[in-house]
Chains A and B, each alone.
Chain A
């Protein structure tokens, strides 16, 4: 056996396994997929689309463990709704119903729970979804982080819409709906004590309306993904792998707010790896790309939408990026979470 023992523990779960990067993918591939083998799961989309008597139901689940619980632009409650609604929306589904399960640490203040639940309720109404069932568990003090929330969502996928990470084809356009890095930096700012001239807020928002507008323009949309944990890089790497294609981005087209850029420079972070909670990536037939972007501009959540790259036949499985100097570099998936650095 070669020394030293690998840095990432294989006999323990580490934080990296939940970060949306390579370790998460590995866990999925080596642990979960073999145990749960079925065709739906193997598509590895953000939602499962299942056929029930000619109605296609989209089904998804997500757990929310964000810390701090309250942050500029949202809280764990609204995030729990938006995250699951977005997973459904990425499958083209109209979101209809949610279940919500709370795991609460003993001693958690009631007023804080009230705030979270109110926020969750408001977010659900605003999305037009109903919370129809749920569960509550309380754990010993010290066993949780205040509150964890799991939401499961159900929606209906209209006929004729098939979106999948495996659907990208060479020549397709890669479209991004707006500024990247807002959510991750808003969270990091709370933790690191950063201040902003105009505070960076989480972009937490439900995207089903934007998706509906896009699908009304054209059905030539291959795939939608919301780049949450692991950022734009993870989502695009997943698509490249699932579709067996390459992706080439143009660095100069990436939209990043000045304040987010400043925070990233200071902490040594790359916005491509920072989480977003109200953005989407779309792989679209190149011929329709301009029309889709135009339609997105008309929606409040798509004002900064733009094309950021192209799907290629060459370099299959890789995401690359053209730098402002005209050279090309790889945009790799991270192993675990991106950590602030001094080097």
Chain B
């Protein structure tokens, strides 16, 4: 359900009472309605579903969690195995801190 794809907002314009944008999906561009993301600006990444942007990607949050994921991937490629609790703590997964991320 809910095929939504992330893309980069390249330009915006206002036509009648609608704010429209052009979003780039890795080389394909499409016109997207921005009614639901008034805070999105050119250069932001947005998630698009049926021609509407439904959220602005939180790049800082994405970067933070991605760095944790990358470390998991690096551990995978041949470093010494580490204890399960250690790795869970290191990646910040699990526990009340994970709430409301």
Contacts and interface: CB of A to CB of B under 8 A. Distances in A.
Interface of A: 189, 192-198, 200, 257-259, 261-263, 265-266, 268, 341-343
Contact of A196 (B3, B5, B27, B50): B27
A342 B30 contact: no
Contacts, number: 53
7 contacts: A189-B28, A194-B30, A195-B30, A258-B27, A259-B26, A263-B28, A265-B25
Q: How large is the interface on B (under 10, 10 to 19, 20 to 34, 35 or more residues)?
A: 10 to 19
A262 B8 CA distance: 12
A146 B46 CA distance: 40
Given A261-B26, A262-B24, A262-B27, 15 more contacts: A189-B28, A194-B29, A195-B29, A196-B28, A196-B29, A197-B24, A197-B29, A259-B27, A259-B28, A261-B27, A266-B7, A266-B25, A266-B28, A342-B2, A342-B50
A266 B30 contact: yes
Most buried by B among A196, A200, A262: A262
Contacts of B5: 265-266
B48 interface: yes
B49 interface: yes
Contacts of A197: 24, 27, 29
B1 interface: yes
A262 B25 contact: yes
Interface string B1-16: 1110101000000000
Given A266-B48, A342-B49, A342-B50, A194 B28 contact: yes
A197 B26 CA distance: 9
A263 B23 CA distance: 12
A343 B2 contact: yes
